[in-house]
Structure 1
Amino acid sequence: MEEYQAHREKALINPDVRTMKNHIIRLVSELGYICIEKGSQQDEITSLCDFYINFLESKALVEDLKSLELNILQSFLDRIKKVDEQPFHSPLVERAQKYIFQNLTKELTLKSIAETLKVNPNYLSGVFTKEKGVSITHFINQQRIKEAKELLLITQHSLMDISTLLGYNSQSYFTRVFKSIEGIGPKEFRRKYQMEKG
């Protein structure tokens, strides 16, 4: 932690963009490691780390990087908190979740997941719903909307781009799913967050 503080102070004294980027890359790696140690899904965390490391390279201003750093801290802290609240899951549900995290941007159906895991779709559906408290379809949508929120907050991608990126075949369906989970549409979500941030 002291080493992290030293890196951070150095990055702030010398507000060079590359120094700040390197500092954030180290931060992402350290937070990712902590999340996995705490019991987070390794695939989800690896994918999140890759996403942030690739994304920060598109930033050219120290101010933008500072703002991104806060988003990253919040994102990883939320995940650490959720791990502490998570109950134990059977190996089948763990494997199903792992497959979903790895394939969020592709077409995902109960049938395709069951085929990959070599189990009966009805059996998988029953076990998953019993352990997670939601259906597989709902779980997939929850994970995609979680990713969508990150994209809405830290990128300027259009709703069309985000919905395509997350495997939805239409923007209107994506908006409907987003609203059913978050209570407001993606446009309103982005506007509200940006107003609070501003």
Structure 2
Amino acid sequence: MSYQKEWLLLEANDEIDEMEHRNPSEEYQFYHAVASGNVDYVRRNCESGRFSQEEGVGQLSRDPVLNLKYHLVITTAMITRLCVQSGMELEQAFRLSDFYIQKLDDLHSVNAVCQLHDDMVMDFTKKMRKHLRNDTNSKHINAGKEYIYAHIKERITIEDLADELGVSPSYLSRLFKKETGTSVSGYIRQQKINMAKNLLRFSDSSMIDIANQLAFSSQSHFIQQFREVTGMTPKKYRDVSRLNPWED
């Protein structure tokens, strides 16, 4: 009997695994967190042991160790693809992927596979964070970008940023414009909109919740700012992006 016929009989006789699978948006959010270098998010996911939790992940093998190995291969392949799309060198990404997948040959316990998973995703995430922040800007600008990244859910003013860096607001404003081609406020807005995009794509948060979470003054202000940057409303972006969650 061919595999196709076997599957059709199993499906028709209702003998297939009826376990419900996780919402794909959860996986997409995790993969994009790795590709965007979001170390804190990925570390929290690892610490929660989400990879080893069986609910909703599907059974690829009756052997628990082999089952996790298959899932790790899938995860590695997905992460590799997104990291390349986000700027990681193609050869580096695939060599890193091959390295971790080959390590599976020597592992024979669930705990060991889970630890390899955590090491793999953190390695990719840290490399992406370094890549996305590795530019030729001065130390003040790079430190400013790090501060903005770490406080993106707060209201950030140029005075706050200048005080943090120990320079005057006027000096920081001139330097930021010279080295990045945009104003401090423009850069902060862009980073908040980028975060809003992820929330719109991968969460069910309402517009007002996202506006509050990212410290916009109001929902209407959030919608206005989002439209100015992206050319569409947040609702339109959510509808369009969910048709293809892999695209930026």
Q: Residues 15, 169 of structure 1: CA spacing in aligned structure 2 closer, same or farther, 3 A cutoff?
A: farther
Which residue is 2:38 aligned to?
Answer: 45
Whether the aligned pair in 2 keeps the contact of 1:163 and 1:170 (CA below 8 Å) is: yes
| Correspondences of 1:109-188 after superposition (within 5 Å) | 109-188=157-236
Distance across 1 between alignment mates of 2:240 and 2:152: 26
How far does residue 163 in structure 1 lie from its aligned partner after superposition?
1.1
RMSD: 3.9
Distance across 1 between alignment mates of 2:198 and 2:48: 11
Distance across 1 between alignment mates of 2:208 and 2:48: 19
More helix by share: 1
Q: Residues 148, 54 of structure 1: CA spacing in aligned structure 2 closer, same or farther, 3 A cutoff?
A: farther
Query: Per the alignment, in what secondary structure is the counterpart of residue 128 of structure 1?
Result: helix
Distance across 2 between alignment mates of 1:115 and 1:189: 36
Whether the aligned pair in 1 keeps the contact of 2:148 and 2:156 (CA below 8 Å) is: yes
Query: Per the alignment, in what secondary structure is the counterpart of residue 80 of structure 1?
Result: coil
Distance across 2 between alignment mates of 1:100 and 1:163: 17
Whether the aligned pair in 2 keeps the contact of 1:15 and 1:62 (CA below 8 Å) is: no
What one-letter code is carried by the residue in structure 2 that aligns with 1:166? L
2:57 is the counterpart of 1:62: yes
How far does residue 167 in structure 1 lie from its aligned partner after superposition?
1.2
How far does residue 71 in structure 1 lie from its aligned partner after superposition?
8.3
Distance across 2 between alignment mates of 1:190 and 1:72: 22
Which residue is 1:101 aligned to?
Answer: 149
Whether the aligned pair in 1 keeps the contact of 2:19 and 2:56 (CA below 8 Å) is: no
How far does residue 47 in structure 1 lie from its aligned partner after superposition?
3.4
Query: What's the TM-score once normalised by structure 1's chain length?
Result: 0.65
Distance across 1 between alignment mates of 2:136 and 2:238: 34
Say how many residue pairs are matched: 160
Higher relative contact order (CA 8 A, sep 6+): 2
What one-letter code is carried by the residue in structure 2 that aligns with 1:149? K
What one-letter code is carried by the residue in structure 2 that aligns with 1:165? Q
Q: Aligned residues: percent identity?
A: 25
Deviations 1:69-122 (A, max 9, x none): 698666644443594897411000011101101100111000111011110101
Query: What's the TM-score once normalised by structure 2's chain length?
Result: 0.53
Q: Which has the larger radius of gyration?
A: 2
| Correspondences of 1:24-39 after superposition (within 5 Å) | 32=34
Distance across 2 between alignment mates of 1:168 and 1:87: 29
